[in-house]
Amino acid sequence: MEKNSKPVYGGQAVVEGVMFGGKHHTVTAIRRKDSTINYYRLPREVKNGLAATLKKIPFIRGIVAIIQSSANGAKHLNFSTERYELNPEDDEKIKEQETSKLSMILGVATIGVLSFLFGKFIFTLVPVFLAVLTKPIFSSHLSQVLVESFFKLVLLFCYIYFVSMTPIIKRVFQYHGAEHKVINTFEAGKELTVENVQAHSRLHYRCGSSFILFTVIVGIFIYMFVPADPLWVRILNRLALIPVVLGVSFEVLQLTNKLRNIPVLKYLGYPGLWLQLLTTKEPADDQVEVAILSFKELMRMENETNQREIIKEIL
């Protein structure tokens, strides 16, 4: 009961740092070239409003959470990339640089959402065209769904593998591992020290990597009930069903997290954990230190906000 009563925190690896999000704030900590730590802090959106209402509705809440996460994550990622390889004494150059016209029109958050949607469209449609090429061999509806899903998995694994070969992404994956280790340490009720954090797993049931894999698995079952011929119908229903697949996959992700301590049922989340073996790497101690600092700063801000809310209620 004690573990379940803990607040739920999420995170994201960025360039040379980690972002953590709580109920009221999101915080990123990055390590600069001179070994100093810089923070980027953002308040969460107002708890009242349409988005807050939609986040209470099963299957719809996942879509809202994904859009908000993409928009918010893009801001934190932009903060880290701006400062990557830039000496701290040159930070003024960031302010002097003119923002691109695209950023001026759309904004960083909107670009983040559009990037996610564009990637999802590519990830959805390319396997469709590849599967159609195999129709002379796999002609049945079920076989086409399975072949299409197979190509999705191949595309996913190849993409992760090849990007992980670049030095910068390898380090991001290490920070991804550090993020999970910190969350696992916190949820285990242990003190956040480098030694304690390093002793925990770099895998976590609520990870976005698991979510991506679940979209493939969930898609198999949903696509069985919709037509695949002719091709234009297949393309349209695949695009139209993206929100459905995302919404159901989010609920599956939440369910596997709730079942992770139950014998036998805990294995439902294992496919996502296996994928995390590719999307996370074992972090170095200095990377874990950055993740700890980011999480502690988030906790400080969350506690301050909670105390202010308690005082308001009393008054």
Percent of the chain exceeding pLDDT 90 equals: 47
Whether pLDDT at 208 is above 80: yes
pLDDT interval class at 91 (50, 70, 90): low
Q: List Cα–Cα distances, 187 to 2, 7, 81, 257, in angstroms.
A: 9, 9, 30, 12
Who has greater pLDDT, 313 or 230? 230
pLDDT interval class at 98 (50, 70, 90): very low
Q: What is the pLDDT of residue 1?
A: 35
Q: What is the pLDDT of residue 121?
A: 81
pLDDT, mean of residues 171-195: 95
Who has greater pLDDT, 4 or 305? 305
Model confidence over 224-273: pLDDT tens digits? Answer: 999 988 999 999 999 999 999 999 999 998 898 888 888 878 888 889 89
pLDDT interval class at 100 (50, 70, 90): low
Whether pLDDT at 108 is above 60: no
Model confidence over 30-59: pLDDT tens digits? Answer: 998 888 899 999 888 656 567 777 777 888
CA 64, 67, 71: angle at the middle one, nearest 5? 140
Which residue, 31, 62, 68, 66, is CA-closest to 47? 68
Task: Please enumerate in sequence order all residues whose Cβ is within 8 A of that of 111, keeping only pairs 6 or more positions apart, or say none.
Answer: 74, 102, 103
Whether pLDDT at 95 is above 60: no
Instruction: Write out the E strands in the chain.
Output: 10-14, 17-21, 25-31, 37-43
Q: What is the pLDDT of residue 114?
A: 60
> Which amino acid, residue 294?
S
Model confidence over 135-170: pLDDT tens digits? Answer: 999 999 999 999 999 999 999 899 888 888 888 889
Q: At what angle do helices 101-133 and 242-258 cross, to 10 degrees?
A: 90
Q: What is the pLDDT of residue 257?
A: 85
Q: What is the pLDDT of residue 16?
A: 93
Who has greater pLDDT, 12 or 110? 12
